[in-house]
Each structure stands twice: as C-alpha cells, then as structure tokens.
Amino acid sequence: MKNLSQVSASAPAISIHSKIEKIDWPYVTKELNEKGFALVPKFLSVSESKSCIQLYDQNSLYRKTVVMERFRFGLGEYKYFAYPLPGFIQILRENIYPYLAPIANSWMNVLSIEKKFPDQFLELKKICHDNEQTKPTSLILKYGTGGFNSLHQDLYGEIFFPIQAAIFLNRPNRDYYGGEFVITQSIPRTQPKAIVLNPEQGDMIFFATNFRPIQGTKGYYRAQMKHGVSEIHSGERHTLGIIFHDATT
C-alpha cells in the first residue's frame, strides 16, 4: 500500500476489503457486547501504518486542524479529513459499518431505545446530512512528548453511531513511551472503572462512542463510556480515528 490517500479500485483497495473480511467478526461482536471494546491485532502492516503517518503533513487532505490545548482538550493536535475522503478511509467507513450496525441495533433493542440504524453506511451518512451534520469526522491525531488527550466522547451532534474505531500507527515503547489508550466505564451507583490498553503498531480497536448495555439483575442498563490517551513520556504517537457519523462543524 504505497499511497493510501489515493486508494481506488486497485490492488490496495482489494487489500483493504480483504483485511475487513478477514476480521473475526463473531469475536468482535462478543468483545463489544461483554467489554465495550474489541482489539483487532495487526490490521495494518508496518508499511501501511507508516504511509498513514505520512498523510499527516499533506494539508490539502484536511478541512480543519485542532490544537488541543487551546480548547483544554489535552496537549497535541489533530486534523479532520475533508470530503472527498482518501479512498482507503472511505472504504473503511463503508465496509466496516455493515458489520457494526447489527451490534448497535442490538444495543438499542436491549436498552429499549427507539432507534434503528440503517444496514448500509451511505444511509447513515444521508441521515446525518439531513440533520445538518455534513462535515466528515475521520481524523489523524498527533502527540509529542508531554501530549495527552482528556477523557471525552466523539458525538458531534444529535445523530451519532454508538461504535467507532481507532488504528494505532506507531510502535509503543520504541517510537514513544507512555501514551496508553484509556477507556473509562461508569456504571450507575459505582465509581468509574478504568481500562488501560497499549496496542501495537497497526492494531485497530473498536469501542463504544457514548454508552453500552450491561445486564443487571433487573435487565439491561447503560454504562457510560469515555476514552482518552495518557501522557506521552517521550517520542511521537499518531492515531487514525474512524468515526461513522458526521459533524455539524
């Protein structure tokens, strides 16, 4: 995958399709239902991960740059891709979404939420645009020494899909130290639980955007989920974020 930003109907595009099809989706479903996250190891190769990092300085690809400390989001920087998205990101959104939609709908069902997500990604995109959420949300994040990302949720508007993905592009404990991926889970009447992960280069993680269902003695209830990044002690860390709903701004 020599130029990820220009993937179309070519061998690299076929490679992305194949990677998605080879994911153990029953395992992902089980992990998301039981934990609220699921790790897919080595989704991208080393060279593919490095190609993604190289996209960071191609400013023509992006619609917006956010310097995190200006908004007290943390310390670092991220860039939102512009439409039309690079081909491989469009492929990821369109072809991963149909596997996640049944999980999302099962969550809505057990929580008695009157919401049903469409089977295909382009239908979700239309719903977003009909509700004035027209800005793409896929992004690349960059942290240097001292960088971190405060706990947050990527909602962007009234319409949001309850599962998102991140792909880790650098080597932990080699390219950077620290910078663990942190998920918190808040269950009613208990203190929040912290989950700390240190994915390898090329790994992808699916995780709950806002909440997930947990079964209790009297049925299912919502566990509120947030995510962030711990402080980078040294080095540089990049992450590709794949969010399925669009934003208002």
Q: What is the pLDDT of residues 75-108, one digit of tens each?
A: 999 999 999 999 999 999 999 999 999 999 999 9
pLDDT value for 218: 85
If one counts every other C-beta atom within 10 angstroms of the C-beta of residue 145, the result is 16
In this prediction, residues 109-121 reach a mean pLDDT of 97
At 35, list the tokens.
């934990």
Residue pLDDT, tens place only, 193-229? 999 999 999 999 999 999 999 998 889 999 999 999 9
Q: Is the pLDDT of residue 11 over 80?
A: no
3-state DSSP assignment of residue 17: helix
Confidence of residue 190 (pLDDT cuts 50, 70, 90): confident
Cβ-defined contacts of 57-63 (< 8 Å, 24+) = 58/5, 61/5, 61/86, 63/135, 63/136
For residues 113-117, give the mean pLDDT: 97
AA letter at 149: N
pLDDT at 3: 53
More confident residue, 189 or 59: 59
Q: Pinpoint the alpha helices (H) of 38-160.
A: 46-54, 87-110, 121-130
pLDDT over 70 (residue 7): no
Is 53 a residue whose pLDDT tops 70? yes
DSSP helix, strand, coil percent of the chain (3-state; round to 5): 30, 35, 35
Please tell me the predicted confidence (pLDDT) of residue 217: 84
Check residue 9 and give its pLDDT: 34
Pairwise pLDDT comparison (9 vs 46), residue with the higher score: 46
| Cα gap 52→144, rounded to integer Å | 17
pLDDT-based confidence at 14, cuts 50/70/90? Answer: low
Return the percentage of the chain with pLDDT > 70, whole number.
94
- pLDDT-derived band at 10 (thresholds 50, 70, 90) equals very low
Whether 143 contacts 187, CB under 8 Å: no
Query: Which pLDDT value is given to residue 8?
Result: 39
Taking the CB of residue 116, how many other CB atoms lie within 10 A of it? 11
